[in-house]
Amino acid sequence: MTKISELIAGGTSFSVELWPPRNPGAEARLEQVLSEIEPLRPTFTSITYGAGGSTRERTHDLVVRIAREGVMTPMAHLVCAAHSKDELTGILSRYRDEGVDNILALMGDPPLDATTPLARGELAHAIELVELAKEVGDFCVAVAAHPEGHPQSSGMEADRNYLAEKLAVADFAITQFFFDVDYYFRLLDDLDARGLDKPVLPGIMPVTRVRTVYKMAELSGTQVPGDLMERLEKVADMPEEVRRIGIEVATGLGARLLAGGAPGLHFYTMNESVATIEIARALGIGAERLVQLPGEG
Ligand SMILES: Cc1cc2nc3c(=O)[nH]c(=O)nc-3n(C[C@H](O)[C@H](O)[C@H](O)COP(=O)(O)OP(=O)(O)OC[C@H]3O[C@@H](n4cnc5c(N)ncnc54)[C@H](O)[C@@H]3O)c2cc1C
């Protein structure tokens, strides 16, 4: 299969994050999203992973299915949390044997209901999982970057040093979502000052629901700018207006990132494709002209 680092080197990257479905309703929605996203020919599709037991196999199954279908290049998220080193070695070996070449190595957050000493996982930080993946197979390994700093970090300087340490071993990074491009370009400057120039794909989350974005921003330590909050609050009970503002803001953000030299854009789709397709169209990325949106035709 193809290594994503090689695809990114080939031109502006356009990628999407999807969740494995948790119930039959979500399964049907995912099928719809896959059928709408595939024609966009994303550079790659990343599949999230929950440390809690029940979602583990669903990530594996979706990644392997996408790999076998051969239309999109999948990247499997994997986390240290709630796993022993042996378990992680087993998961990585299975992916290697099934021809999955791309892994996003994360610390992960312990499952909310976890009470065992293993809740945090035997490997303490993402860098140890990057190293393990490189030992187990010839994987292309990506890592997470936090432009505004990781919410639990002891300070920005330390956070950047740890990021530089793991990116030195990994192949590229994907950022947490943010609304202010300055955070992204400052992150690149900080990595440059540490001698690193590996690709860092900015993560974009199109706002489609006000409450969801506040919750995600709180969890990830992302600041929602005051003027955006004000605009969203005014239309909070008008879903179409919220979506319109979300698409407008994400399109502007994407345009500034690409104009500033970002190697591509990574979309947190929340398993909803229409906003991402509209933004891709507006920016002229992906095979967006081939895609028909519901109601068009
Ligand atoms: C693109 C992306 C995708 C994600 N996908 C998922 C997913 O599928 N499933 C999921 O559960 N979570 C996911 N997350 C969330 C992620 O797991 C959390 O943000 C997590 O809290 C941090 O992960 P990390 O890999 O950046 O951790 P790390 O790199 O381990 O960093 C975590 C914290 O530890 C500090 N640190 C790092 N290395 C060291 C060290 N050697 N010594 C001391 N401190 C250190 C860092 O400064 C930081 O504060 C994703 C995040 C991003 C940005």
- Mutate which of 44, 107, 123, 219 for ligand 1? The one with the most ligand atoms within 8 Å of its CB, which is 107
Cα separation, 199 vs 183, in Å, equals: 16
Say if residue 113's pLDDT is above 70: no
Q: CB under 8 Å to 97, separation ≥6 — which residues?
A: none
Cα separation, 278 vs 194, in Å, equals: 37
The region that residue 11 occupies, defined by phi over 0 for left and psi between -120 and 50 for alpha, beta otherwise, is: left
CATH number given to 4-290: 3.20.20.220
pLDDT digits (tens, 9 = 90+) for 250-261: 999 999 999 999
| Residues in a beta bridge with 172 | 142
CA of 105 to the centre of ligand 1 (A): 9
Atom of ligand 1 nearest to the CA of 152: 49
pLDDT of residue 114: 59
- Are 109 and 150 contacting, i.e. CB atoms less than 8 angstroms apart? no
Phi, psi values for residue 13, rounded to 5°:
-90, 145
pLDDT digits (tens, 9 = 90+) for 35-72: 999 999 999 999 999 977 667 899 999 999 999 999 99
To the nearest 10°, the Cα dihedral for 26, 64, 54, 178? -70
Q: Which residue has the tokens 């929605």?
A: 29
- Which residues line ligand 1 at a C-beta cut-off of 6 Å? 48-49, 51, 77, 79, 106-109, 125-127, 144, 150, 152-153, 158-159, 162, 166, 174, 176, 203
pLDDT digits (tens, 9 = 90+) for 122-149: 999 999 999 999 999 999 999 999 999 9
Say if residue 295's pLDDT is above 70: no
Atom of ligand 1 nearest to the CA of 153: 49
pLDDT of residue 55: 78
Cα separation, 274 vs 181, in Å, equals: 23
Please indicate whether residue 117 or residue 134 has the higher confidence score (pLDDT).
134
pLDDT digits (tens, 9 = 90+) for 187-221: 999 999 999 999 999 999 999 999 999 999 999 99
Atom 33 in ligand 1: residue holding the nearest Cα: 153
pLDDT of residue 58: 94
Please indicate whether residue 293 or residue 98 has the higher confidence score (pLDDT).
98
- Angle, CA of 187, 193 and 197, to the nearest 5°: 70
Atom 9 in ligand 1: residue holding the nearest Cα: 49
CA of 106 to the centre of ligand 1 (A): 5
List, by residue number, the catalytic residues. Answer: 17
CA of 127 to the centre of ligand 1 (A): 9
pLDDT digits (tens, 9 = 90+) for 264-284: 999 999 999 999 999 999 999
Quick one: tokens of 210?
């006000």
pLDDT of residue 135: 98
HEC per residue, the chain: CCCHHHHHHCCCEEEEEECCCCCHHHHHHHHHHHHHHHHHCCCEEEECCCCCHHHHHHHHHHHHHHHHHCCCCEEEEEECCCCCHHHHHHHHHHHHHCCCCEEEEECCCCCCCCCCHHHHCCCCCHHHHHHHHHHHCCCEEEEEECCCCCCCCCCHHHHHHHHHHHHHHCCEEEEEECCCHHHHHHHHHHHHHCCCCCCEEEEECCCCCHHHHHHHHHHHCCCCCHHHHHHHHHCCCCHHHHHHHHHHHHHHHHHHHHHCCCCEEEEECCCCCHHHHHHHHHHCCCCHHHCCCCCCC
Atom 12 in ligand 1: residue holding the nearest Cα: 108
Say if residue 289's pLDDT is above 70: no
Q: Which residue has the tokens 């976890």?
A: 114
pTM, full prediction: 0.96
Judging by beta carbons within 10 Å of its beta carbon (0-12, 13-18, 19+), is residue 272 exposed, middle or buried?
middle
Say if residue 290's pLDDT is above 80: no
pLDDT bracket for residue 288 (50, 70, 90): low
